[in-house]
Structures are given as structure tokens and as C-alpha cells.
């Protein structure tokens, strides 16, 4: 079964990921030293979200 990744801001469903995948989902904050692999925008709250694959 796939897992649902939710927007950290509003909880809207962003994408699904395969069960064996681990990833980090955060709001993109320019001041924070974090380099996501993917960027997307929440369809609901329009915030920019970063996704980083951990495995
Ligand atoms: Zn959102």
C-alpha cells in the first residue's frame, strides 16, 4: 500500500509514495539550510513544499 504525504502546513494530500520509501516533507524556508530533492506547491494553501528522499 502506498503512503500519503501531507502538506505540513494544512494537511492536504500532496502525493503518494511507495511503502518502502522514506522521505521528509517540509515547508521551503529560505533561511533554513535544507536541500530538498523535489519542490512542489500545495494545491490547497499554495505554500512551497520541499521533498527529500531519505533512502
Ligand atoms: Zn497546504
pLDDT at site 31: 76
Ligand 1 centroid to residue 50 C-alpha, Å: 12
Q: Which residue has the cell 503512503?
A: 3
Ligand 1 centroid to residue 1 C-alpha, Å: 23
pTM of the predicted structure, to 2 decimals: 0.82
- Tens-binned pLDDT, residue by residue, of the chain (55 aa): 899 999 999 999 999 999 999 999 999 987 778 889 999 999 999 999 999 999 9
pLDDT at site 1: 86
CA separation for the pair 42, 49 (Å, rounded) = 7
Residues near ion ligand 1 (Cβ under 5 Å): 7, 9-10, 12, 42, 44-45
**Total number of domains in the chain:** 1
CA separation for the pair 52, 38 (Å, rounded) = 6
pLDDT at site 53: 94
pLDDT at site 52: 94
pLDDT at site 54: 94
Ligand 1 centroid to residue 25 C-alpha, Å: 11
**Residue 9 sits in which domain range?**
3-53
Q: Which residue has the cell 511507495?
A: 18
Nearest 10 degrees: Cα torsion 52, 49, 32, 36:
20
CA separation for the pair 4, 29 (Å, rounded) = 22
Amino acid at each position: 500500500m502506498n503512503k500519503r504525504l501531507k502538506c505540513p502546513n494544512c494537511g492536504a494530500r500532496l502525493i503518494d509514495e511507495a511503502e518502502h520509501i522514506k522521505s521528509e516533507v517540509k515547508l521551503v524556508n529560505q533561511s533554513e539550510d535544507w536541500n530538498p530533492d523535489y519542490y512542489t506547491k500545495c494545491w490547497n494553501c499554495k505554500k512551497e513544499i520541499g521533498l527529500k528522499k531519505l533512502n
